[in-house]
Amino acid sequence: MALIPEAEVATVFRRLADAMPGRTLDAKGPKGQPDAFRSCISCMLSAQSLDRNTAAAARALFALAATPEAMLRRDDAAIADAIRPCGLYNMKTRNIRAFCAALLDRHSGTVPDTRAGLMALPGIGRKCADIVLSFTFGRAVIAVDTHVHRVCNRIGLTDAKTADRTAAELEERAPDWAMQDGHFWLIQFGKRICRARSPLCERCPVVNHCLWYEASRAH
Ligand code: SF4
């Protein structure tokens, strides 16, 4: 694909903002987790897992241990057993233990509130870091999940193969005023209109700017 002109980027965000709900007051931690530690762990659990399975795994895990110290007192088998519903449980168990050990070692158990600090911790990539920054710390960051990635690259807001690259390009191209709520507009737009299969282009508020639509009409 390609990129839409710089001058159209703000218009696209304005139209999405008008058409979609933004951040709500009750938007908190990934999957509704109440603190930064649980948000990080939940994000790790969510890799390649359905929301309901992630939620079940998180519930079982935090009933077992809700702090890094308590987590490290549990053995691998107990952690793996608790998080079994979300799949990849052996790898996720190793990541959780490494994350807890590093958090205690480097930050005395307190989750850092910077992207660099978060991403330096085992098991935390850009997506998790941005989700925690946005939801838990309330920062003006557009976290990029599969919906946001798809929508941005269809329209031509970004031209990126990976979600991490999309996040970096959005940070450069999105207007400052769109950073606080942009994630929420884009994700709702991706779920309601620009769906993965059969997007509803005839109802789309940015159809006049969309490169994907333009290309599909040319064929
Ligand atoms: S025109 Fe279609 S493909 Fe383009 S952003 Fe709108 S819904 Fe998505």
Query: Where do the domains of the chain lie?
Result: 6-25+142-218, 30-136
Substitution candidate for ligand 1 out of 11, 149, 204 with most atoms within 8 A of CB: 204
Q: From the candidates 31, 92, 130, 145, give the one annotated as an active-site residue.
A: 145
Whether the predicted model's global pTM rises above the 0.85 cut: yes
Q: What percent of the chain has pLDDT over 70?
A: 95
- Tell me what pLDDT residue 25 has: 59
Substitution candidate for ligand 1 out of 193, 211, 216 with most atoms within 8 A of CB: 193
Looking at CATH, the fold of the domain delimited by 6-25+142-218 is given as: Endonuclease Iii, domain 2 (1.10.1670)
Compute the distance from residue 7 Cα to the ligand 1 centre, in Å.
19
CB distance 212 to ligand 1 below 6 Å: yes
**Confidence band (pLDDT; 50, 70, 90) for 31?**
low
Average pLDDT over residues 142-155: 96
- Tell me what pLDDT residue 49 has: 92
Could you check whether 6-25+142-218 and 30-136 share the same CATH topology? no
47 phi/psi in degrees, rounded to 5: -60, 125
Nearby residues of 207 by Cβ (< 8 Å), 6 or more positions away = 201, 213
Q: What is the CA radius of gyration of the chain?
A: 19
- pLDDT tens string 48-107: 999 899 999 999 999 999 999 999 999 999 999 999 999 999 999 999 999 999 999 999
Establish whether 176 is a catalytic residue. no
CB distance 123 to ligand 1 below 6 Å: no
For domain 30-136, the CATH architecture is Orthogonal Bundle (1.10)
Q: What is the spatial distance between Cα 86 and Cα 16, in angstroms, rounded to a whole number?
A: 33
Work out which ligand 1 atom sits closest to the CA atom of 201: 2
Establish whether 81 is a catalytic residue. no
Q: What is the spatial distance between Cα 88 and Cα 7, in angstroms, rounded to a whole number?
A: 44
- Tell me what pLDDT residue 194 has: 98
Show the CA angle centred on residue 109, arms to residues 84 and 126, nearest 5°: 65
Q: From the candidates 127, 130, 161, 191, give the one annotated as an active-site residue.
A: 127
